């Protein structure tokens, strides 16, 4: 299915149309063959499954799940599985496409995939989540596997979810196959450094941006939106590297300290109370207005569509590092470019997670595991080289960083597709 990519006020926040608009602009700049562009735009496979699950109270409920494989031109498709009440096929399509471009930007031998189940984990027991995970895995298992499609954790899924998926797949195959998923517990074939990988990648590319712009970490004020795995780890690692984290924003509020927050202390408060608000060493401020604080770095690490055409002109950061997938809409790109904001696009900035997932996949297939120093060193090498590739491409083609990242990624996937040819 091919959708027209002409976002308007009504569909600006549709992630598939936003991804498609950027794709079309990059294709036009690359002067790509129209037929090749159609192949690259279209998902290779889209599967919808209906999952009957017996709930704890004895009722039967049917949940809808998706798995989209956008591309397998450069290798197996790779991407997370999210559980959320607002999952849509368009969202999963967009995320799968972003994974294709993300893997290509950091030059991993993967294509893009994504999965999702429409459910509300906040009202489900662990037993219900296990049953929904195992049945979902059984329904999609014909299209996943170490050489075909490798799922991973995403929103509201975690290492335990991946353990259930791996076990279900392995039971059907009658052998333990750890490489079918990544993001697993360490003792079941997970990789050291994986929980910190996305946040570490954000920190690495932000450091590169500071050097590019002649800034120092000690004079860099950072606003972080989202205090989960990505935002929390980014804040923690940046604080250790000397950045001044002046504000953290969550769904229920924001905390501010002009002299820099004690991130370790805030994490302890968050775990004890379930909220970042009320932290004794910070001031509670409006979470919406916090996004527009004067700062050097804004790190949106929560959800899609945070920066749109309606509010992009209010952003006062010098650098935006996109820890989340799709936090900026395509219509906001031009506004940020006009403001000369140095954007580290999501398909580069948060690629640390899929990079270490690739390391996990390699280690599982080898049966030989690396120490954390080796994982982090190889992650830094890939993220630094990828930053240089994107910025160099932007300068060469006189475009902003996001368009450069898309052009670079599409160019790499198109080359693979042209070299392989079209099977007929």
Output the pLDDT for position 94. 87
233 and 329: one domain?
A: yes
232 and 321: one domain?
A: yes
207 and 122: one domain?
A: no
Q: How far is it, in rounded angstroms, from Cα 304 to Cα 13?
A: 8
209 and 156: one domain?
A: no
Q: CA Rg, the chain, in Å?
A: 21
Q: How far is it, in rounded angstroms, from Cα 22 to Cα 332?
A: 11
238 and 284: one domain?
A: yes
**Better-predicted residue by pLDDT, 1 or 145:** 145
Residues in the chain: 424
Q: Give the up-direction half-sphere exposure of residue 325: CA atoms within 13 A in the CB hemisphere.
A: 26
Q: In the chain, what's the furthest Cα-to-Cα distance?
A: 66
- Tally helices (H) and strands (E) across the chain: 13, 12
- Provide the pairing of β-strand 77-84 with 111-118: parallel
CB 150 within 8 A of CB 180: yes
DSSP structural state of residue 200? H
Which of 319, 349, 379 delimits the end of a domain?
349
Cα 113 to chain centroid distance, Å, stands at 12
Q: Is the confidence at residue 281, as pLDDT, over 60?
A: yes
Q: What is the mean pLDDT of residues 202-224?
A: 97
Choice among 114, 184, 236, 244 that is catalytic? 114
pLDDT tens column, 172-193: 999 999 999 999 999 999 999 9
Rounded to the nearest integer, the mean pLDDT of the chain is: 95
The answer to whether residue 217 sits within a structural domain is yes
Q: Is the confidence at residue 3, as pLDDT, over 80?
A: no
Give bridge partners of residue 151 from the DSSP assignment.
Answer: 79
Residue 400, classed as helix, strand or coil, is coil
110 and 148: one domain?
A: yes
60 and 135: one domain?
A: yes
The answer to whether residue 362 sits within a structural domain is no
pLDDT tens column, 75-92: 999 999 999 999 999 889
The answer to whether residue 379 sits within a structural domain is no
Please tell me the pTM assigned to this model: 0.93
Which of 332, 349, 366 delimits the end of a domain?
349
208 and 172: one domain?
A: no
Which of 145, 177, 209 delimits the end of a domain?
177
165 and 238: one domain?
A: no
260 and 337: one domain?
A: yes
CATH number of the domain where residue 267 is located: 3.40.50.720
Write phi, then psi, for 14 (nearest 5 degrees).
-70, 115
The answer to whether residue 3 sits within a structural domain is no
Give the contacts of 238 (CB within 8 A, at least 6 positions apart).
Answer: 203, 206, 217, 222, 245
CATH number of the domain where residue 162 is located: 3.40.50.10860
The answer to whether residue 85 sits within a structural domain is yes
pLDDT tens column, 11-66: 788 877 888 889 999 999 999 999 999 999 999 999 999 999 999 999 999 999 99
Domain around 268: 197-349
Q: Is the confidence at residue 124, as pLDDT, over 50?
A: yes
What would the DSSP string read from start to end of 289-314?
Answer: GGGG--EEEEEE-S-S-SB-TTTGGG
**Starting at the edge strand that comes first in sequence, how are the strands of the sheet with 77-84 ordered?**
45-54, 60-69, 111-118, 77-84, 149-153
Tokens of 343: 């954007």
Cα 236 to chain centroid distance, Å, stands at 19
Cα 322 to chain centroid distance, Å, stands at 9
Output the pLDDT for position 127. 98
Q: Is the confidence at residue 4, as pLDDT, over 50?
A: no
The answer to whether residue 287 sits within a structural domain is yes
Q: Give the up-direction half-sphere exposure of residue 378: CA atoms within 13 A in the CB hemisphere.
A: 20
Q: How far is it, in rounded angstroms, from Cα 141 to Cα 136?
A: 8
163 and 256: one domain?
A: no
* Long-range pairs, 208-211, Cβ under 8 A, ≥24: 208/383, 208/384, 208/387, 208/388, 209/319, 209/321, 209/342, 209/344, 209/387, 210/296, 210/319
Give bridge partners of residue 111 from the DSSP assignment.
Answer: 77
The answer to whether residue 150 sits within a structural domain is yes
Q: Which of 135, 92, 85, 133 lies closest to 115 in space, CA to CA? A: 92
Q: Is the confidence at residue 402, as pLDDT, over 60?
A: yes
Q: How far is it, in rounded angstroms, from Cα 295 to Cα 223?
A: 7
Name the strand (E) or helix (H) holding 2: none
Number of domains in the chain: 2
pLDDT tens column, 296-341: 999 999 988 999 999 999 999 999 999 998 899 999 999 999 999 9
CB 80 within 8 A of CB 117: no
173 and 204: one domain?
A: no
- Tell me whether residue 78 is one of the annotated catalytic residues: no
Q: Which of 9, 7, 6, 14 lies closest to 304 in space, CA to CA? A: 14
The answer to whether residue 260 sits within a structural domain is yes
CB 27 within 8 A of CB 408: no
Which CA distances in Å does 139 have to 44, 117, 219, 390? 18, 12, 52, 38
């Amino acid at each position: 299915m091919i959708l027209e990519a002409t976002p308007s006020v009504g569909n600006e926040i549709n992630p598939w149309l936003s991804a498609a608009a950027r794709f079309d602009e990059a294709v036009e700049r690359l002067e790509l063959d129209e037929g090749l562009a159609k192949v690259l735009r279209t998902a290779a496979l889209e599967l919808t499954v209906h999952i009957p699950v017996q709930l704890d109270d004895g009722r039967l409920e049917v949940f809808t799940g998706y798995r989209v494989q956008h591309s397998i031109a450069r290798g197996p498709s790779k991407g997370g599985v999210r559980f959320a009440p607002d999952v849509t096929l368009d969202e999963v399509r967009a995320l799968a496409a972003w994974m294709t471009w993300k893997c290509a930007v950091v030059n991993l031998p993967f294509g893009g995939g994504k999965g999702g189940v429409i459910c509300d984990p906040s009202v489900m027991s662990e037993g219900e989540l296990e049953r929904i995970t195992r049945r979902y895995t059984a329904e999609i298992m014909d299209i996943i596997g170490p050489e075909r499609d490798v799922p991973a954790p995403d929103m509201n899924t975690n290492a335990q979810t991946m353990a259930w998926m791996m076990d279900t797949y392995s039971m059907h195959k009658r052998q333990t196959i750890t490489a079918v998923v990544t993001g697993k517990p360490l003792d079941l074939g997970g990789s050291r450094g994986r929980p910190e990988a996305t946040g570490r990648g954000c920190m690495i590319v932000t450091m590169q941006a500071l050097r590019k712009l002649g800034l120092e970490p000690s004079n860099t004020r950072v606003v972080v939106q989202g205090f989960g795995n990505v935002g929390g780890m980014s804040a923690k690692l940046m604080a250790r590297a000397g950045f001044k984290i002046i504000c953290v924003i969550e769904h229920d509020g924001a905390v501010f300290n002009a002299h820099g927050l004690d991130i370790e202390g805030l994490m302890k408060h968050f775990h004890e109370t379930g909220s970042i608000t009320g932290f004794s060493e910070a001031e509670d401020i409006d979470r919406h207005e916090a996004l527009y604080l004067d700062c050097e770095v804004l790190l949106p690490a929560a959800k899609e569509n945070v920066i749109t055409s309606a509010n992009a002109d209010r952003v006062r950061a010098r650098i935006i590092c996109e820890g989340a997938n799709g936090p900026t809409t395509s219509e906001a790109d031009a506004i940020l470019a006009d403001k000369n904001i140095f954007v580290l696009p999501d398909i580069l900035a948060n690629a640390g997670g899929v990079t270490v997932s690739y390391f996990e996949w390699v280690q599982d297939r080898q049966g030989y595991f690396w120490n954390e120093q080796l994982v982090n060193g190889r992650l830094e090498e890939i993220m630094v080289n990828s930053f240089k590739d994107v910025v160099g491409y932007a300068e060469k083609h006189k475009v902003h960083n996001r368009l450069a990242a898309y052009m670079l990624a599409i160019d790499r996937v198109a080359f693979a597709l042209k070299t392989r040819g079209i099977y007929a």
